[in-house]
C-alpha cells in the first residue's frame, strides 16, 4: 500500500460519520441528476466506484438488479452497510479495494458511477480507464466531481485550500482536462452538465472533522476574503461568515467498444 492510499484511508475513516450526514452529499436534486444520467432499469448491474457511505448505492439499488459499492475505506463501507440496511435494500454488494486496479472483469457492469473520487487520485487517468474497462460495450459511465477554475493560478489557490482542509486531496481538475481524459479512455461523451453550489466554510470544514485544521484554514480564508481574493471559487463574506461556490461537473459517457461482457 502506498503512502497516499494509507493517507486516504485515514482521512476517510475520520470523515465517514460527517460526510454520511452532510447536506451537500445527501442533496436529493444531485442524486436525481445522477439517477437520470444512469437511466436505471430492472436488469442492470451497476458499480459505484468510491461509494463512500453508500448514498448513491442506496438510491440506485431499488431501481436495478444489483449495485456493487466499492471503496478503499472500511469505515465508509460500514456506513454504507448501515445505510442500505436502514433503506431495506438487499441487492447490494459492498467491497473493499483500490480503484486503481479493480477486481472485476472487462465489461462486468452495465453502468459505472463515481462521485467526488477523481480528485483523490494521483493519476486520475487510471481511475477513468478502469471505469471504462469494467463497463460493457455501449454501457454508461457517469462521473461527477468538483472542478477547478480554467485559470491555472486560481486553480492552484483553490486546490491549496482544499488540501489544507483535507491533506489527502490531490487535485480538482479544470473541466476541459477532465472531459479530455474521459474521451481519451475509449468513452464517448453524451452530455456534460455543470452547476454551482454555495458552500459555507462551516459546513465544508465540518466534514473534515478536525478542529486543529479548521482554525488556521479559517484564518487563511478570512484573510483572502478580506483582501478581495476570490480564489477561483467566488470566496467572499456573507455577513460574518465566509462562503464560496463549488462548480460541479456531471459527465455522462458511453463505452465505445468492449472486448466482451464478463462477470466478477
Ligand X SMILES: C[S@@+](CC[C@H](N)C(=O)[O-])C[C@H]1O[C@@H](n2cnc3c(N)ncnc32)[C@H](O)[C@@H]1O
**What does the alpha-carbon distance between residue 241 and residue 238 come to, in Å, rounded to a whole number?**
5
Establish if 25 lies at the interface with ligand X (CB under 6 A): yes
**Binding residues for ligand X, total number by CB under 6 A:** 19
Shortest Å distance, C-beta 109 to ligand X: 15
* Minimum separation from the CB atom of position 228 to ligand X (A): 30
Nearer to ligand X among residue 50 and residue 107 (C-beta):
50
Residue choice 78, 98, 129, 137 for contact with ligand X (CB under 6 A): 98
66: cell is 444489483
Residue with Cβ nearer ligand X (12 or 104): 12
List all residues 6 or more positions away from 84 whose beta carbon is below 8 Å from its beta carbon.
Answer: 54, 57, 58, 61, 90, 92, 94
71 secondary structure, DSSP code: E
Per rule CB under 6 A, is residue 171 in the interface with ligand X? no
Part in contact with ligand X (CB under 6 A); list of ranges 109-117, 128-136, 220-228, 237-245: 109-117
C-beta separation of 117 from 108 below 8 A: no
Residue 159 sits in the site that holds ligand X (CB under 6 A): no
Which C-beta is closer to ligand X: that of 30 or that of 221? 30
12 binds ligand X (CB under 6 A): yes
Residue 174 in contact with ligand X, rule: CB under 6 A: no
Q: Among the candidate windows 58-66, 97-105, 173-181, 188-196, which touches ligand X by CB under 6 A?
A: 97-105
Tell the smallest beta-carbon distance from residue 73 to ligand X (Å).
4
* 46 neighbors 111 (Cβ within 8 angstroms): yes
Position among 55, 157, 181, 253 found at the interface with ligand X (CB under 6 A) = 55
Nearest to 59 by CA among 37, 246, 73: 37
Torsion angle (degrees, nearest 10) of CA 258, 259, 261, 263: -120
Between 114 and 214, CB nearer to ligand X: 114
Looking at residues 77 to 96 of the shown chain, list those that interact with ligand X (rule: CB under 6 A). Answer: none
Residues in Cβ contact with 44 at an 8 Å cutoff, skipping those fewer than 6 apart = 38, 64, 65, 110, 111
CB contact at 8 A, 144 and 249: yes
Would strands 187-200 and 92-96 be described as parallel, antiparallel, or unpaired?
unpaired
Nearest to ligand X of 181, 225 (CB atom): 181
Q: Does 115 bind ligand X (CB under 6 A)?
A: yes
Q: How far is the CB of 69 from ligand X (least distance, A)?
A: 9
User: Does residue 50 touch ligand X according to CB under 6 A?
Assistant: yes
* Strand locations in the chain (E): 45-49, 66-71, 92-96, 109-115, 135-147, 187-200, 236-238, 241-255
The residues with which 143 forms a beta bridge, in sequence order, are 114, 251
Q: Is residue 120 a contact point for ligand X (CB under 6 A)?
A: yes
Can you give the binding site for ligand X, defined by CB under 6 A?
8, 12, 25, 50-52, 55-56, 71-73, 76, 98-100, 115-117, 120
Amino acid at each position: 500500500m502506498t503512502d497516499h492510499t494509507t493517507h486516504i484511508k485515514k482521512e476517510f475513516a475520520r470523515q465517514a460519520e460527517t460526510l454520511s450526514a452532510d447536506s451537500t452529499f445527501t442533496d436529493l436534486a444531485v442524486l436525481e441528476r445522477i439517477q437520470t444520467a444512469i437511466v436505471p432499469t430492472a436488469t442492470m448491474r451497476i458499480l459505484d466506484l468510491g461509494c463512500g457511505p453508500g448514498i448513491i448505492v442506496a438510491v440506485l439499488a431499488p431501481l436495478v438488479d444489483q449495485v456493487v459499492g466499492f471503496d478503499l475505506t472500511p469505515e465508509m463501507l460500514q456506513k454504507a452497510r448501515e445505510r442500505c440496511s436502514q433503506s431495506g435494500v438487499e441487492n447490494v454488494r459492498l467491497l473493499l479495494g483500490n480503484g486503481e486496479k479493480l477486481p472485476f472483469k472487462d465489461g462486468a457492469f452495465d453502468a459505472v458511477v463515481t462521485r467526488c473520487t477523481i480528485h483523490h487520485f494521483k493519476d486520475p487517468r487510471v481511475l477513468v480507464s478502469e471505469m471504462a474497462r469494467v463497463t460493457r460495450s455501449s454501457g454508461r459511465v457517469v462521473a461527477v466531481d468538483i472542478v477547478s477554475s480554467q485559470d491555472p493560478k486560481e486553480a492552484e489557490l483553490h486546490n491549496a485550500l482544499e488540501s489544507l482542509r483535507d491533506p489527502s486531496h490531490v487535485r480538482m481538475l479544470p473541466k476541459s482536462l477532465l472531459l479530455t481524459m474521459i474521451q481519451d479512455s475509449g468513452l464517448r461523451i453524451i452530455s456534460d452538465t455543470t452547476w454551482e453550489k454555495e458552500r459555507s466554510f462551516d459546513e465544508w470544514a465540518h466534514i473534515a472533522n478536525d478542529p486543529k485544521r479548521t482554525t488556521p484554514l479559517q484564518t487563511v480564508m478570512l484573510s483572502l476574503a478580506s483582501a478581495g481574493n476570490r480564489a477561483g471559487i467566488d470566496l467572499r463574506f456573507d455577513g460574518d461568515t465566509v462562503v464560496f461556490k463549488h462548480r460541479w461537473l456531471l459527465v455522462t459517457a458511453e463505452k465505445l467498444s468492449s472486448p466482451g461482457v464478463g462477470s466478477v
